[in-house]
Structure 1
Amino acid sequence: MIRVGDVLVSKGEGGVYGERMLDGYRVWDPYRSKLAALYLTGRGIDLTPGMKVLYLGAANGTTVSHVADYVEVVYAVEFAPRPMQDLLEVARRRTNVMPIMADASCPERYAPLVETVDLLYQDVAQPDQAAIALRNCAFLKPGGQLILMLKTRSVDIRKEPAEVFQDTLDSLMSAGITVTESTWLAPYHQDHAAIVGTLEHSVLGTDHA
């Protein structure tokens, strides 16, 4: 990952969402991007030029645009029509972004459009966040990595965030995900956590071709 001093940056064309530039690089704002917050509160993973990424919950494409600056291709899944308009503009300016308008809870609907990927990144505000991640692991190659941005209040408002966090960890590990990092994203995002894991084998019994 590229840093200018203590600032996380990426090296693509600027002006995607009003981000500032620093020494010719785009500043990656941790208050706007939970992935940037992970790199500042924890370790995260290295994004490399040959990497293929399936991104669930692409929204307006803020974080997608930074990820695309680092990797080979980003399959960006978004369900809501309004953010999709902004995502399409990001894809126009970054030809390695493949926008897909679909519900991340139904991966079979976009299976014909997505190849096997190195990284599954999920940032969706639904109650069954762990289950969605596990269903989409069908696209993840053995040894591939998962980053789940857990929005605890979206899972169950009646439970304490720490309880939701632990329940999610248990669900992923019981399904065969080896968790390598788990951290809260405060002070950048309250009641949000990041879980990083590795898929040692297909959680569904068969690998996605």
Structure 2
Amino acid sequence: MRLNENTLLLGKKVVLVPYTAEHVPRYHEWMKSEELQRLTASEPLTLEQEYSMQRSWREDVDKCTFIVLDAEKWQVRPSTTEDSCMAGDVNLFLTDLGDPSLGEIEVMIAEPSCRGKGFGTEAVLMMMSYGVTKLGLTKFEAKIGQGNEPSIRMFRKLHFEQVAVNSVFQEVTLRLTMNEHERQWLLEQTSHVEEKCYIDGSSESH
């Protein structure tokens, strides 16, 4: 999605930046992990396929993707490169043609050293806030493997409720509808987030 190609979102624990070609080699290394393939229901891709995927995600109007960076590491740039700050990614899929106000959200904290620190929670909150304020979304769904208890617990803490179980794909669907109360709660949770202009690995305040 080109809407966010120049957008950087700065939180307390994580920084969200657009998925660029610079991030592909590290992302490709992550996705060689059988555990991540299982958790994300993904097939391993060649490096060239990964570059092609990155380009299509940039162009597709129904996908909004940010790379999740470790904010603490990112703050000490330029002594560290952006790819060395990478922690995972967070995505919104706007694939329900009958309901443009619904976004399917998923998050992956791929870097083992970055897990269990609240990165995923803040990334999801920031992405939901972006979806509400920039994309006009009012409903979110998350489809999670039944065995992925940490992810299910995280989404439940964020007020998502289980609405379906698919025994064939062994996944549960959780949903959150943004009424006025939930919207205010979400905006309060993300009131610290700063939006900056992202240009090729650097940022400038709006």
Which structure has more RCO (C-alpha within 8 Å, separation ≥ 6)?
2
Same fold (TM over 0.5): no
Q: Please give the TM-score of this superposition, normalised by the length of structure 2.
A: 0.32
Larger fraction in helix? 2
Q: Please give the TM-score of this superposition, normalised by the length of structure 1.
A: 0.32
